[in-house]
Amino acid sequence: MQSFVINSALDMHLHLRDEDMLKLVAPLTSNTFSGALIMPNLVPPITTKEALLSYKERIKEATKEDLFDAHLTLFFQNNYSYEFLNDIKNDIIAIKLYPAGITTNSDTGVASMDVENLRPTLESMSKLGIPLCIHGETNGFVMDREAEFMPIYESIAKAFPDLKIIMEHITTKDAIELLDKYDNLHATVTLHHLLITLDDVAGGMLNPHLFCKPIAKRPRDKRALLKAALKAHPKLMFGSDSAPHPKHKKEACGCAAGVFTSPIALQVLTQLFEEHNCLDNLNSFISLNAQKIYNLSPKTKMIKLIKKDFVVPEIYEYNNENVVPMYAGEKLSWSLVD
């Protein structure tokens, strides 16, 4: 039977939420991944050392004995002092910048993306070697929001050449092309943006479980993302942006944005890379690139997959929480070995 081994998988963009949702979804990553970069957009967002360390303890409790490192991030504010960041730098892997109101729990994000408005915090981050992760969208027409953000990426990259910048969950051909223009620009890409376009979300009957922000784009964008991922572009790494919401908030008027992929990420990536004869590049895309970009030395964790059909569960449940995964009820061609 055909098999494949993934070594020390890293998910460099993950939402774990909190309370019962945290207890439900965290083990679905920690049982297979060696580590993950955890988003700070809780309610309220993580902006203090006390909140950060408390959240880390809750994640540790939820992941129990799994061999797993939760790499935490701080919610960007433009008035963090050098002293505060110097004190917290060893407890975080990056700081995440959200434009105000652009996605889930981002209402207290940055109102102005002008470089001078961001300078106080960015200068300190640059001096201290703290990477900056950015949700790169404007509030313009939904299909153009990422493309409109490209000049902002460029202005920050030029103003702070020593600042490591990660363009999060990129969705466009434009973003792929920008990667090679500046040494300090890097990016993550999700599983779902390698697989779907807007047509899959809303081309027929609306599929709420594929609705996300940034929204899926055009076929040419998907092709560009997939080409870069399959060749394991050294400045591109896997970040699932797996974003759980309860079923009743997805299948509702005012559908919540987010695709839940944690339980199927390794199986689908293996299937995708095999289909394109690129399995030799999968470990770089899902681990080695992130290790180099973030200077990580993850715990060794070998996960074996076999070429055997796996039917994705219809729903995952814990106490009063439930989440529908991407491809619920569908058959995949690769399975995890217990």
Domain boundaries, the chain: 3-336
d(CA 195, CA 261) in angstroms, rounded, equals 12
pLDDT recorded at residue 30: 98
Cα distances (angstroms) measured from residue 34 to each of 63, 197, 334: 12, 30, 20
Which run of H or of E encompasses 140? none
Return the closest-CA partner of residue 36 out of 256, 153, 188: 188
**β partners of residue 94:** 73
N- to C-terminal Cα separation, the chain: 15
pLDDT recorded at residue 65: 87
Which numeric CATH code is attached to 3-336? 3.20.20.140
Q: Which residues fall within 8 angstroms of residue 230, CB to CB, at 6 or more apart?
A: 273, 276, 278, 281, 285
Helix (H, G, I), strand (E, B) or coil at 306: strand
272 token code pair: 């995708």
Residue whose token pair is 């394991």: 232
Query: CB neighbours (10 Å) of residue 9?
Result: 25
Mean pLDDT by groups of 10 residues along the chain of 338 residues: 96 98 98 98 97 98 96 97 98 97 92 94 98 97 97 98 98 97 98 98 96 98 98 98 98 96 98 98 98 96 97 97 98 94
- State the maximum Cα–Cα separation within the chain, in Å, rounded to a whole number: 58
Catalytic option among 87, 241, 309, 338: 241
Cis peptide before 44 (omega within 30 of 0): yes
Characterize 230-256 residue by residue with b for buried, 16 or more Cβ atoms within 10 angstroms of its Cβ, and e for exposed: bebbebbbbbbbbbbbbbeebeeeeeb
Beta strand ranges found along the chain (DSSP E) = 3-7, 10-14, 35-38, 69-75, 94-97, 132-134, 165-167, 185-189, 236-238, 302-306, 310-311, 316-318, 321-323, 331-332, 335-336
Q: What is the pTM of this model?
A: 0.97
pLDDT recorded at residue 1: 86
d(CA 211, CA 258) in angstroms, rounded, equals 6
109 token code pair: 């994000």
Cα distances (angstroms) measured from residue 160 to each of 3, 86, 97, 118: 45, 18, 15, 11
d(CA 293, CA 301) in angstroms, rounded, equals 19
Residue whose token pair is 């299948």: 251
d(CA 235, CA 166) in angstroms, rounded, equals 9
261 with 286: CB under 8 angstroms?
no
168 with 186: CB under 8 angstroms?
no
241 is catalytic: yes
pLDDT recorded at residue 124: 98
